Structure formats: C-alpha cells, structure tokens
Structure 1
C-alpha cells in the first residue's frame, strides 16, 4: 500500500452512523453551505433541524426503526433531506431508479415492503404517482408527493402536508430515535440492476458506508470549500454514497444536478465555481468534445473521479491539461460492497490511473479466483472477489442468492473479471456477462475497447458480441467519431488486424452520433445489442 493511502489517526473517532454524522457535521462545518440549489443555500448548522423534520413526519405516520421507506425522485435538496430523515428515523432507505416504469417500481416497493414512498410529482414529462397507481402494492400505505398539486388519494400527502404532521412529534423524541441507531443497523436497500432475473435488494449498514467513504474523502483531499456537482443519480451509490454522503463527511457543498447535459454542466462549472466533478468517462469525453471548451472558464475544477475498464491514458492527461483537474483518479466498486472497493492513488502516473482501479481500501481484500474458487497468482486473470468490512449484509429476504454471492470464507464473488498488477493494483478486464466467445476464444469487450480508443478518429466505442452462423459470436464495434473525422468499417477492421489478435478484431462496425447511456452515464450495452440486432 502506498503511504499516501495508509489510514491516518484522528484525534476523535469518526461518527459511526449517518445520524451522528449529521449532528457532527453541523457543528464542525457551521457557516459553510451544505446544499445549494436554485439560488437557495442551506447551512450545515441548519441541516439537522431540516432532516429531523422529515424524521418527525415519518414518526407521525407510524414508521418504526427497521421499516422500509422508498424514495423515487431526481437529484434534489428534497431527496437529501428525505434520505437523512429516513436514516434518522432508524428506517431503511430504498432508492428507486427514476427510469423505472410503474410496474418495475411497484415490484421494488412490494418486495422491499415499503410503507411510505417519497415521490416526485413530475420529472422529464413523467407523472410518477400516475405511473405507479395501476400497480401500487397494498403494503404501500402512504405517498408523500414532492411538488404535488391538486387532490391526492386518501392517506397520501403533499410534502407540505407531511411536514405539517411533523409538528405532532417533539424534536427531542426524534433526536433520541436518531441517537439510538447502531453502526450495524441497515441504512439502505439498493436494488441491483437485475441483469439476470429480478433486481435484488442489497443491505448495507451505517458504519460500513461511513468507514469506506471516509477513506475516499481522505485520499481525494476533500474538505470545506469544495463544491461538488453531483450529476450521478442519487438512486445509485455513485451519486448517493460517493456523492452527497461524501460531502457530509468532508464538509463540502452539495450541488445537485438532475439531468446530465454538457451545456448545462459547462454553465454550472463556470457560474457556481465547481471544484469536484465525478462521473463515468463518457461525462468527461462529452465535456472535452464540447465546442465551447476553449472559451469556458473551467479554472475552478480540482477533483475528478471516474471508473471503467477502458480508459486511455490520453483521457487522464486531457482531463488534467484541458479540463484543469489537479486530482484525477479511478475507483472500483459495486452495490454489493457499498459502491467502493478499490481506489487509485491520485499521485500515480496517468498509465496507472487509466489502466487500473487502484488498491483495496484499508481493512479490505481483493482476491482473483478461478471457476473452482481457487486463488490465482499475481498477473493471472479470473473473477474478482472481495472480502472485508464493506461487504453487504446480504440480499434482502433472499438467503439463497446471498449464499451464492458470498462464499463460506466470506468472499463476495463480483462477476467481474480482472487481475492484480505487480504493485497490487486491480486491473479490470470485463464483466463476465459481457464476455463473448469467438471460435472458442474468450473475448472481453473492455480490452478491445481500450485498443480501439487508440485510433485517432474515435471519440467513444463500445464492443458487443453478436450472433454469427460460422463463429457462434463475433465482435461488433459501436463507434462515435471525433468531430471532423472520417472512418469506414473496412478501414477500422484493417487497422484493428494490425494491432490485436485476429479473434479480437471486430467483424462488424456500426457508427453512431452518440452511444445510449444508462442513468449512471455508462454505455447501455443491452440497448446497443437491441439496436444492432434490429438493424
């Protein structure tokens, strides 16, 4: 472990629950803005009262410690306050993906047993309560509607009505509830993306989240005065835990951003003096490709965090030189480990930051294993397995799936493929599910994507496996060209044949003006497969 990643002793123990973090941060960072949104500024000193108002409202509705409470809304100040209020009530936060349809959201709410749902009235022309109504589970007792207008069904409340109900519960009663929570208590239930079967609810606890992201804060050097633009959605660990929860640990100012748009992000960076901007590589590629790059004031930018198996070192250098980041690093995690497992030292060379995801957090381990669950040696490629304090408590009410994911020795089997380099950095090769087989050879798309990004005409690329009568499967490269560049299918295939093994060379090339992205700004490969199959 590089000395810069070693834990340093603190004069007082860090808060071990989100409720205690809330009270601690209010004292330590009083006078600093906790949240700024649409010209409204909420000071850290005032944050506990605002959050406890939500806690009191939930207690007035009969919510007990351990009850599940859903949250279906875009990034906003209300999302954060609702989440903190849920945490302080000792309840379990269940974020719902804003891209879900009514039946999908209802499935998550029913299987988690949510009694209350905070929900946005309308977002991106979607009426969420109306979307849910035909599928609403009987276990969902109340909707609390942000920006609700008009009459609501019985037992449902506008947010202002909900807050009025808080007056029936004494503030001291809510504080006592908040301070009774232990670090091992489950604080959230995040549902996985459900690539195989239905999404599964991942249970993680207060203490493990704060310990992991306390390390994240320390390595990145975040602190009061940082202004953190959170484009990643709050329903995802990157926007929630590596986003606003991280800000509360550091005393940084949270700048929620509901919908990614390069123009709007550019304007906010300049106008609001953004210093921290994490995101998927596609976010930075979009900014670098923006026609106003040279004329926009990006001088406030300081910290960038990204993660992917296919980042060219040139992107890291461009982020430093053209976007002005002095701290650029990569990380790796998944929902089942709270969103963070390894972290790269920002002082490492661009090749290390681009080509690896860094080393395990202190108190955690990474092991590369073969299909028989045997440990592989350094440099060998296999399944990435994790063990340590940050591993989930399990899948909610699904012991069989939990036992399948976490073996008897406590190793979480991630389904990701990778290896460890001589310095102990994790190199991600790919997702097991994205691997395809060409003539008996395993092909890992991320490895091929990294090679293709070396072509001077290519801005972005995603590789997928497609059916082939002779080979079983072959690779298809889905390409976005740099502005003003030209390239055709045969030229790229020829270029590839000179630079990679024949079985890795894409047999097909499709050109796109933009690749489809999921809400986390990662390429939506299932959407690409559907487009290519239908072409």
Structure 2
C-alpha cells in the first residue's frame, strides 16, 4: 500500500469510444420497444425507438433552421421531455448544448447567452412564479446580439400567435426538418468525434466569476456510464430522476447513465415535489432514486409516506452535500434503498470522481465520499504542490478522461484550474485514508452549498455592489438544519446613507436566482479585518452561527 495520497481507479472495464448520439442509437437498436423516458406530469411515454426518432427529427430540424456543428444552443427550462430530446438531438447534430439554471433571472440569462454567443435558446413558458417568456422578452434584442432564434416549450403550434415577436413553439423545430437536412445529419453522425465539445455548464469553479465549463461527448458519456455501473444499474431498470436536468446530476448521472445501460428515465415532475416523487417510484416500480439530502428528508417527512409501496427500490444516489448518519439509515431502511451510494465531484470533472460502493457501511457512506472512479487519478497536495501522506489533508486534484476541455473562451482561467500535467485543481480540501476512501474536509474557496446548489459568494457580492447605496459587502455561508448551508451577507452602506436588510433582499428578488439571495442580512459599519486589510469571513460566520444557536 502506498503511503502517499495518490489513488487511481481500476481500468479493467473499457471506456466508451462513441458519441452520445451513437450511444443512444445503439441502445435503440438493441431495445426498440423498451421504455426510454416516462414524464409523469404530462403522461408522455417514449420507447427507445420513438425517443430515437424524436431526437433525429429535432436534430434534422435544427440543421434545417441554419444551426451548424459547433454552434451553441441554450436551454432554460425545468425537467420535461423536450429537455431530454434536445440534449440528445443537439449532441447528434454536433451542436453544443448550454444548460441554464431555471432559477436564473434576466441578468444571469443575459450574461450566459452572451458569454458563449448562443445562436438559439429553448425555454419553458412558465414554471411556478417564473415567467420565462416575459423575462426573455424584457431584454432588448440589441443586448443579445448573437441570439437568432427562440423556441418555447409547451406552446402548441396553432398558438404561435400568442407568443411575443421572435418566439416560436418548440414543435416548429422538428417540423422544419427536410430530406436535405436529414441527409446532412446522416453525414454528420459519421463525422462527429467523441472528443468534440458538446455541453457547456456554467460554474464559478475554483477561480471566481461564472465561466462555461466545456465538456465533450467522451467526458460526460463515460462518466454517466461508470456512475451507472457504480449503482449496479441493470438492463431494463428504471431510475427516478427528480433532480434538475440543467445540472450534471440530472443530465449525466441520470440520463446518460440510463441510456448507456438500457434503463428508463423517469421524471416525476418539472421540479422536485416529494409527493410526485414518491408516487412515481411506487407506480413506475423504480429501482433507483436520486436526490440531495433535503429531497430525501422531505420524502421521509411527507405525511403520506407510509402509504407508498417503495419495495421496488434498492439503490440510487445521494449527492450535493453531506448527509447526517440518521438520515442515511432511514433512507436505507424505510425507503428500501440498502444499495444507495454517495457521489462526489464537480462540473469541471463531468462530474463524478469518487463514489461509495453499494455494500459500504452507512458510516462509510456519510463520513466519506467513497473511492476513486474507474480510469481516474486523484492526488492530495499541500500549498507547495507536493503530494501529502495518507491521512493528511490537502487540495484534491483530479486527472483523467473526465477533466473538462476548458472554460469556454477563457484560456487564462483554464490554465489556473488545469495545470501543465493535466491535473484539475478542485479547490476542495480532502483526506484519503489507507483504504483509499476520501473525506471532504473543507473548501479552499468559500463556496456555499445550499441543498445541493452551489452559491459563489463573489458572484453575489458583485451583484450587490451594483446597488447605489452599498459601499462594501461580504457574503458567506452559515450552517442550516434544512439546507446544509444558507448564504448570509454583511453590508456596509455608503457614508451618510441608510439601508435596511429588507431593502437588500428586495433588491435581489427577481434579479438573481432565489437560492442565491442572502437568507440573513446584517447592516454594519465595519468588517473584521486582518492587519493586511483582508475581510475575515470566518469570524463573521462564527458570530452569525452563535446568534442562530449554533
């Protein structure tokens, strides 16, 4: 056994050397009559043959409408059939899918679309309190100079006149397909390479402001495949996917795991709903269920929990943030999920690097994030870049097929994150024990993880700085029993100005995603500072947690 904190995953199972489009086509050839996708909210059900045809139609339609290999198309929507179809159609046509958080508001949407120069956007009409069509329509076209087409989900073709100028129903994409575009698609399918970029996901990663992590077919298809192997996914089983598709958890660990194993994707609702998820598991007889700890807690605490037959479950994934041991035991026992696994990773690594085994003890599953994934390497280094001994903490660095191609259009930030030897510096602090299990002990960057959603304080701070009466602001996370962490803000007004916490929160509402809005705001005259003038967020965090009762 090596004494240094370096581990590498087994390579006895070969990686998949195909594109996402071809992986789907192969599964459809093998299992044409098996269900590929079930969307509970709308009642839509697709066999693999039907799903593959729908993907072909949309891919050919996009080409007929002028989209080309390497163009970017955004999707801004909660979970639905169109989301899944576009994921695979864009991949089949070589068009790069830009996944946009449905909680984003206009400022964030505008930034994303312009940063990667999206030529088209697919968006939901509404979801909960979000009116996506109105938000997009409120942005003057001259501020989105690259955006040529806007397709709206959930609008019948005959209702196109009800949409604002420049927007058309999603159904018009497939309807636009022509014999010529289908011929072009067939040629493309033979020409696309699995190392081509195919997905951009926005993350602040380890180096500050939001950047587009660019992922290839090979990155995410293989990660989904090995995650599926990690949960013991069997041919023909169903995965209940209540987690959002815009994130790797849904689109990679869910959708791509399913299609690479001939399994069925089950979407219980557009967004997470405990009752809808329990109903979907029971009625569809799902074998696996995904979620962050808060989702599992919500299901366990649902008043009708005992009414649902969950005996079909045996495993799944819990990820996003740490899980209390008692919650893990309740999930394993009361939800019939003895084989549930824990996953760890980051968007820039496609995402999973570590995963617990289906037979690890409950203690292992909550105290660690498991062991290294196949075909990957991880080392733990000190501040000077030297590998530390087993049992010592340091920064986790990942190398292998899963490491992103880079941040879109940002070579400098890519070089900061990925060194010359190909190591992705995660910014997470970890410890690897003698048996190869990894424990995450902190973050070198102050990322706040609220119920599985990453909140990057600098991004929120920069937004708050646009308030005309704010002179300085510091955002940080404090512990929360429900969400794991919630964002807090200390705000210093301009000299002579007054400001209330309610005004700060009101400034955020409708302009940034709800989960980024500080839960607690304190108006202050000064911040605790080091002698060199750096704000000491750890002191502020300790003060706020003491006031909140620990």
TM-score by length of 1: 0.79
Unaligned runs of 5+ in 1: 436-443, 447-463, 465-471, 482-522
2:53 counterpart SS class? helix
The aligned runs of 1:91-130 (5 Å cut-off) are 91-130=95-134
C-alpha separation in 2, matches of 1:265 and 1:430? 32
Name the structure 2 match of 1:77.
81
Post-superposition CA distance 1:56-111 (Å, at most 9, x none): 11111211111111111111111111121111111111011100001211110111
User: 8 Å contact 2:63–2:181 — kept in the other structure?
Assistant: no
2:352 counterpart SS class? coil
User: 8 Å contact 1:382–1:417 — kept in the other structure?
Assistant: yes
The aligned runs of 1:49-448 (5 Å cut-off) are 49-135=53-139, 136=141, 137-148=144-155, 149-151=159-161, 152=163, 155-167=166-178, 169-193=180-204, 197-256=208-267, 257-307=269-319, 310-434=322-446
1:58 counterpart SS class? helix
Aligned length: 458
Post-superposition CA distance 1:251-280 (Å, at most 9, x none): 111112311122222222222222211111
Q: CA deviation at 1:229?
A: 1.4
Distance 1:406 1:475, change over 3 A: closer
Post-superposition CA distance 1:479-530 (Å, at most 9, x none): 459xxxxxxxxxxxxxxxxxxxxxxxxxxxxxxxxxxxxxxxxx95863454
C-alpha separation in 2, matches of 1:474 and 1:132? 30
C-alpha separation in 1, matches of 2:479 and 2:400? 37
User: 8 Å contact 2:96–2:200 — kept in the other structure?
Assistant: yes
Name the structure 2 match of 1:21.
23
C-alpha separation in 2, matches of 1:475 and 1:266? 31
Distance 1:32 1:393, change over 3 A: same
Distance 1:104 1:168, change over 3 A: farther
2:441 counterpart SS class? strand
User: 8 Å contact 1:59–1:169 — kept in the other structure?
Assistant: no
User: 8 Å contact 2:74–2:99 — kept in the other structure?
Assistant: yes
Alignment partner of 2:518 out of 511, 515, 527: 527
Distance 1:445 1:127, change over 3 A: closer
C-alpha separation in 2, matches of 1:358 and 1:479? 24
C-alpha separation in 1, matches of 2:475 and 2:518? 18
Name the structure 1 match of 2:500.
none
Distance 1:347 1:40, change over 3 A: same
Distance 1:124 1:168, change over 3 A: farther
Post-superposition CA distance 1:385-432 (Å, at most 9, x none): 111111011100001111111122221111111110111111111222
User: 8 Å contact 1:66–1:92 — kept in the other structure?
Assistant: yes
**CA RMSD of superposed structures (Å):** 3.0
Q: CA deviation at 1:150?
A: 4.3
Alignment partner of 1:32 out of 12, 34, 39: 34
Post-superposition CA distance 1:100-124 (Å, at most 9, x none): 0012111101111110111112221
User: 8 Å contact 1:19–1:179 — kept in the other structure?
Assistant: no
Distance 1:480 1:391, change over 3 A: closer
Q: CA deviation at 1:308?
A: 5.2
Unaligned runs of 5+ in 2: 2-8, 451-456, 458-473, 484-513, 523-543
Post-superposition CA distance 1:150-179 (Å, at most 9, x none): 424555321222222113544343122123
Q: CA deviation at 1:185?
A: 0.2
1:166 counterpart SS class? coil
User: 8 Å contact 1:32–1:224 — kept in the other structure?
Assistant: no
User: 8 Å contact 2:137–2:164 — kept in the other structure?
Assistant: no
Q: CA deviation at 1:194?
A: 7.1
